[in-house]
Amino acid sequence: MELTKKLKEINKEYNYFNVIPENIKEQKLLVSVKDCICVKNMESTAGSEILKGYIPVFNATVVKRLIDKRAVIIGKTSQDEFGFGSFSVNTKNIPKNPYDKLRSCGGSSGGSAGITRKLSELKIEHVSIAESTGGSIA
């Protein structure tokens, strides 16, 4: 199954991504990026409606370095609005816990944590880039 399609199916059920690009090429280094970290030409909202439509014209340094090493960005992960909170609640969605869909993933980096777990269940190697805005990181 094509990776983009697989990610969209997971996202429909679990809400881990705010953005999933089309036609993702399967590479050895698949990376998801927390929505507050800029990825060139990919909407970055930091989980807030006020930034809806903001498309960065640059990559954050961490993203640039990963792309230089042939990483493929598979999407922007859900987070608490502006990274402040503990349940990854934002105006768009709440990422569901991969062990219990009635619970959130917790932490401001919940989308990153959730998609990392789901992809590991599918034996898909992946890393997620996130950060701690308010004091804890998933």
Counting Cβ atoms within 10 Å, is residue 73 exposed (0-12), middle (13-18) or buried (19+)? buried
Helices (H) and strands (E) in the chain, counts: 3, 6
At 63-86, the pLDDT tens digits run 999 999 999 999 999 998 888 877
At 72 the pLDDT is 94
Q: Which residues are catalytic?
A: 34, 108, 136
Interatomic CA distance for residues 67 and 21, integer angstroms: 15
Two tokens at 113?
Answer: 């944590």
At 98-135, the pLDDT tens digits run 999 998 888 888 899 999 999 999 999 999 999 887 66
Does the pLDDT value for residue 91 go beyond 70? no
Q: pTM (2 decimals)? A: 0.87
At 135 the pLDDT is 60
Unique residue bearing structure tokens 């340094």: 61
Going from the C-alpha of 10 to that of each of 96, 111, 114, 126, 138, the distances in angstroms are 11, 11, 10, 15, 19
